[in-house]
Amino acid sequence: MPADPLVRFRRWFDEARRARVPLPEAMALATADAAGRPSVRFVLLKGADERGFVFFTDARSRKGRELRENPRASVAIYWDAVGKQVRIEGRTEGVAPAEVDRYWKTRPRQSRLAALSSTQSARLAGRASLMARWRKLHRRYPGDEVPRPSYWTGFRLVPETIEFWRHREHRLHDRELFVRTRRGWSRTLLQP
């Protein structure tokens, strides 16, 4: 097995894609506010390299607020079809605006309009008001050019630990924990 956990992650991710796992990029993101109250939700992984694991969101959302208050986070990615899970813990940092712009332009037009229409996580009086805002923006931006709002941003989870879990018979699963050190990654086997 590769000693570099990022190489291993890419291999496992590619295996999940080949196995046609629905939304292999879906990951449960756990955050906590300044008082330590946790919350978790699914986000989509949009990039993974030696710098970390990238996702995009509305900075005004609960997760955006919590990451400003407390940049520590963890994600769990589970691919049932291949019997594998990856857990990543670390600190988040903002993604450069140019990278956010590049990603924004790849999103479907309807998704960009939805991001402009919604104040994510804010109270909603009723669906009719949301749809009215969406229709108004749909008319305002009839072409493919939909500007990225300043609150649409990206975060990079810089991994401090990465754990790989593989299903085995009799619940005697394989677990490997990689911890980032000054000299690279240290690897430890964990009991199931």
Rg of the chain's alpha carbons, rounded to an integer? 19
The pLDDT of residue 122 is 87
**What phi and psi, each to the nearest 5 degrees, are found at residue 129?**
-65, -40
Find the catalytic residue in 20, 139, 171, 182: 171
Helix (H, G, I), strand (E, B) or coil at 148: coil
Residue 57 within a domain: yes
Residue 55 within a domain: yes
Residue 141 within a domain: no
The pLDDT of residue 3 is 78
Residue 48 within a domain: yes
- Domain that includes residue 58, residue range: 5-107+148-190
CATH of the domain at 27: 2.30.110.10
The pLDDT of residue 103 is 97
Helix (H, G, I), strand (E, B) or coil at 172: coil
- Measured distance CA(13)–CA(19) in Å, rounded: 10
pLDDT < 50 stretches in the chain: none
Residue 114 within a domain: no
Residue 129 within a domain: no
- Measured distance CA(54)–CA(2) in Å, rounded: 22
- Measured distance CA(72)–CA(31) in Å, rounded: 7
Residue 95 within a domain: yes
Number of domains into which the chain is organized: 1
Asked about 148 being catalytic, the answer comes back as: no
The pLDDT of residue 121 is 87
Which tokens is 155 given?
Answer: 């975060």
The pLDDT of residue 24 is 98
Helix (H, G, I), strand (E, B) or coil at 125: coil
